[in-house]
Structure 1
Amino acid sequence: MYEVVSGLLEVFSAMFQGYCLQYFFGSFLEGRIRNRRISVLAVTALYGALRLGAGFFLPKGYTSFWVFVRLAVILCIISVTALAFYRALGKMALFLIVTFMAVGEMSFFLAHMLFELGNHLFRLWDWCLGNGYISSLEFYNCIASITLMGNQILFYAIGAAVLYFTLRRVVQDYREKEYAVHRTELLFILTPGLAGLMVCTLLRITIDTAENGAPETLYDRYPSLMVIMPVILLLLLFSVMFGLKLFQDMICWNREKSSRIILEKQVSSLQEHMGEMERVYSGIRGMRHDMKNTISLIMHPIMNGRPPSLRMCWPG
């Protein structure tokens, strides 16, 4: 029964990751298949099948060599899926691949640590059996089986939830999807994901140890890591999300700064134009004043040389 449930959960996990992949990539890149539903099904099925196949053929050990082989295989699977179903691959595709891998690994280890905490329930059942609180061995086996399957279901559910909601937050925060990312900016948004990916790789290499020939996990040797590692992984997840939000805010600030500079230049040009017009108007007023004086000088002898009757009719 446990093997059946575990197999079904692995299939669910692979397919759900495929769904998250198409949601994440489809939010940034143009798909090759115009029909949305067909694209979702195709990406989910291809990625899920490749992940299940890789999990079947790759060994389950966490030695350094096989950990890096596993990372390379996952990178190839994501790249092949992206090339097959999406256009405009480039810097943005690199960011999407690294971020998806990093969030997937961090989600796995966060769920795995809760799974390790759930395993302590077996010690409780052992204590109850030893002290007579559980009198029947059959009842003990039933409780142990339920606990094991419950932990397994909770493990996959938490991993899927963390993966989906983190990717969803990234998609929502990355507002300027048409913005052409430069190399320095790409390094800025890639760094948190790469850091998280390397921390998870280190965990995969060191999580299983042996003491006097007996296998044990890193958490058994250092129980404080059960608190420290989730905090580190959560901080890395937050750095991925808030780093992107900061990057988007910087784009908006730079755009506003450019608009403000353009507006200031326009205002400065308008002020210069107004000053020039003021100088022109001042010149015109001066010319009017000079013309009035000239006309007065011309009219003065004429008025003085006229007969009195004509001077009475002439104003001034």
Structure 2
Amino acid sequence: MKEVFDIVIDLVEHLLKRCLIIYLLHGLLAVKQRYIRRERLVEAGFLIITTSYYAAVNYLPVLKKLLYGNEEGIVESRGSIFPMFLSMLVMLAYCLYFYDGKRRRISYLIFTAYTINELTMFTLHTFFTLLFRVTSDLMLRLAMDANEFILKNFVIILYVIQILWNLSFQVVFLLVYYYSVKALKNNLSYVGKKINRVQELFLAVPSAMGLCLCILLRSILYAYHGKQIRFLIDEYPETNVLIPLVSSLSLLLIILSAVILKKLVESSENEVLVEVYQNRLNDMEEHMKDVEHLYDGIRGIRHDMKNHVADLEILLKQNHTSDGEYKIEMQKYLDGMCNTMEELDMSCNTGNPVTDVVISRKIRKAGEEKVPIECNFIYPSALNISAFDLSILLNNGLDNALEASEKEQKPYICLDSYVRERMFFIEIRNAFTGNLPENGEGLHTTKSDAALHGMGMKNMKRCAEKYYGALKWKSSNGEFLLTIMLQGMEEKYAK
């Protein structure tokens, strides 16, 4: 009866540990597309396979003899190292088959979950072992003092103490394991898939160190010498403090690495937001300069209009000896007035003054670089899309197109827009005969200041995502095409 009870407790504990691994994986990994509606079956399969493996290795005499060399099980702590690795490989193979994601990420999660399990055990085991020994010694002293009740029920009392010891150890172990896994998951879920290889290595090193420590402890913790078992903590009492201390510090280091990485990602995102707002302020400043230029021009024309009218009246009243000279003078004067007006004329009429100014400025800039621009852009007033957001998209999109076109022998830029139901599409085409490398987050820039240049594409992506849209690009037949998709918003959500 005692053996059956111990087996049940052991299997339940193991099952709960595997549930915590599932808890860690859930949310950090997604099942592959073909299992998308069978997540619960995948999780149940994980529990069944890993628990069955554990039960077979620890309770089937054939496998015990195969793995440990005898049917009794582990005779030296180092004998548990190979089954431990085999268990990790079984879990890893299962997750690689059913879960989607990078192999490095899946491997890190499995090995880290196992390392946390081992470190938690070594952190608590020494303390509970000492507690059990103190309790057992107390019982022996009471028995030696001829305590009649204890003498009669010594075996039963000792068994009850052992059960309580096991239960208390498992409860505390599962609590520490749960909160460690929870802390790791909360930090990793924030980081998501934004980390690079260096950051992955930053996470993996503490886990690898912790796993190596656990392997070292398993290899020297205890061994049989003849018929006597010898524990490391008996021969070296200082290990009673060192083992839990080093194990707990290693466990803390794994969690702190995830916390630090989360802080780094937060800091990086804050820097990105600052850069985004700075770029938006720059766009606003450029727009204000254009509006100011337009206003100054209109004010100047208004100021000079009376003088122009007076000059025309004088010309009309003068007697000219030659009608030809008169017509030439009048024509020159009128041409000068027309040229002044043309400087203030918008090169593109889109239906919105903000986009008019932005596109006209880019057309003037392209004219200076001798890059022709064909504009067929119409502002979608019915879709409640902010003109300011469109100005960010147009500014950055046309800047990128102009940068690429300047290097071509036959440069050109075409700007088009159209509406499909509640979707607004912007297409920017330009001459492009080079390669189209990417840096993982967008197009790779050829400018020397790559860090700042990349912000333009990020600004555009943020604007598109604000309207539940996206950016798409492709290059073919000597042409680059950028397509911006935006969804029209209800008026109460429009800003």
How many residues are treated as equivalent by the alignment?
302
TM-score (norm 1): 0.82
Letter in 1 for 2:132: N
Relative to 1, partners in 2 of residues 1:136 and 1:24: Cα closer, same or farther, differing over 3 Å?
A: closer
Q: Tell whether the 8 Å contact from 1:19 to 1:43 is kept in structure 2 after alignment.
A: no
Relative to 1, partners in 2 of residues 1:38 and 1:279: Cα closer, same or farther, differing over 3 Å?
A: closer
Structure 1 stretches lacking a partner, 5+ long:
304-316
Higher helix share: 1
CA deviations 1:34-93 (Å, max 9, x no partner) are 3454334322111100122233423314465x4542342122121133134433352220
Relative to 1, partners in 2 of residues 1:252 and 1:82: Cα closer, same or farther, differing over 3 Å?
A: same
Relative to 1, partners in 2 of residues 1:90 and 1:197: Cα closer, same or farther, differing over 3 Å?
A: same
CA distance in 1, matches of 2:125, 2:197: 35
Letter in 1 for 2:282: S
Relative to 1, partners in 2 of residues 1:84 and 1:295: Cα closer, same or farther, differing over 3 Å?
A: closer
Matched, 1:147 2:161: yes
2:210 to 196, 204, 214: 196
1:94 to 107, 112, 133: 107
Relative to 1, partners in 2 of residues 1:183 and 1:99: Cα closer, same or farther, differing over 3 Å?
A: same
CA distance in 2, matches of 1:110, 1:63: 17
- State the 1:119 CA deviation: 2.1
Letter in 1 for 2:188: Y
Report what 2:439 is aligned to. none
2:56 to 29, 32, 53: 53
Higher strand share: 2
- State the 1:160 CA deviation: 2.6
Alignment of 1:64-143 (within 5 A): 64=78, 66-120=79-133, 121-133=135-147, 137-143=151-157
TM-score (norm 2): 0.54
Query: In terms of mean alpha carbon deviation, does 15-24 or 220-229 score higher?
Result: 220-229
Relative to 1, partners in 2 of residues 1:129 and 1:278: Cα closer, same or farther, differing over 3 Å?
A: same
User: What secondary structure is seen at the aligned counterpart in 1 of 2:100?
Assistant: coil
User: What secondary structure is seen at the aligned counterpart in 2 of 1:174?
Assistant: helix
Letter in 2 for 1:91: R
CA distance in 2, matches of 1:5, 1:118: 22
Report what 1:24 is aligned to. 24
Query: In terms of mean alpha carbon deviation, does 205-214 or 87-96 score higher?
Result: 205-214
- State the 1:100 CA deviation: 1.0
Letter in 1 for 2:278: E
CA deviations 1:225-270 (Å, max 9, x no partner) are 3334323323322322232233223223322321221220121122
Alignment of 1:1-316 (within 5 A): 1-31=1-31, 32=35, 34-56=37-59, 57=64, 58-59=67-68, 60-62=74-76, 64=78, 66-120=79-133, 121-133=135-147, 137-176=151-190, 178-208=192-222, 214-296=228-310
More RCO (CA 8 Å, sep 6+): 1
Report what 2:397 is aligned to. none
CA distance in 1, matches of 2:104, 2:47: 23
User: What secondary structure is seen at the aligned counterpart in 1 of 2:29?
Assistant: coil
Letter in 1 for 2:8: L
- State the 1:189 CA deviation: 1.5
Query: In terms of mean alpha carbon deviation, does 108-117 or 205-214 score higher?
Result: 205-214
- State the 1:274 CA deviation: 1.6
> Percent of counterpart pairs with the same letter?
20
